[in-house]
Structure 1
């Protein structure tokens, strides 16, 4: 019986650091502020750990946008950092509205974060 304990411990430790599938979805923002130039043309860039997962489409002239895109990463580990950057698309360069950053946990979670230039971003993710 004592010889099984180290093997069981090794298996459990391996499961804890094993890679899992991350799915990010249901992105929506409220009361985005684009400054004095009117309503924002918002989009979101998505990162998991050191990987860039992509960006959403641009929602033109909408301070309460939502995005249908889903993002998936198969190399995510529990406790990796997920970062969502919300931008206002402009001529020349895009303005950063705010950043949401969170340590990823197993399971399904819904979060809301407050953006530096005003407004909120809500999203749901599953790691499993």
Structure 2
């Protein structure tokens, strides 16, 4: 039985949760609504688990914005929750247009989510 110990330790070590790189890219929105104030000045804030991944630039006066920025997180794990928040920048207080949230899986995935305040948000992510 003592000879099985090194093998058991090796098996247990391979079962630990591996960290992987998460990349979020190709972010765009369509038909955003900012209410009576005109066209939105939209931007996105990204999170993975408790980690903040950053914020995009603001796309002024555009109801169909496209962001060039990518978000990268090097300590992501499969089944972590990724959260993308879409905001309309205003003087004093920014309005939350909607949130896209999901558990991440290995591979490359394209998604669309419908925002609470109208419009939709499209993005692609890779975990690997």
TM over 0.5: yes
The ranges of structure 1 where at least 4 consecutive aligned residues each deviate by more than 6 angstroms after the TM superposition are: 2-5
Name the stretch that deviates more: 5-14 or 27-36: 5-14
SS at match of 1:118: coil
What is the rounded CA distance, in whole Å, between the counterparts of 1:8 and 1:127 in structure 2? Answer: 25
Kindly tell me the number of residue pairs found equivalent between the two proteins. 126
TM-score, normalised via structure 2 length: 0.92
Structure 2: give runs of 5+ residues left out of the alignment: none
Mapping for residues 1-128 of structure 1, pairs under 5 Å: 6-7=8-9, 9-14=11-16, 17-128=17-128
What is the rounded CA distance, in whole Å, between the counterparts of 2:19 and 2:65 in structure 1? Answer: 32
TM-score, normalised via structure 1 length: 0.92
Displacement of 1:21: 0.5
- Aligned alpha-carbon RMSD (Å): 1.6
Structure 1: give runs of 5+ residues left out of the alignment: none
SS at match of 2:60: coil
What is the rounded CA distance, in whole Å, between the counterparts of 2:7 and 2:108 in structure 1? Answer: 31
Larger radius of gyration: 2
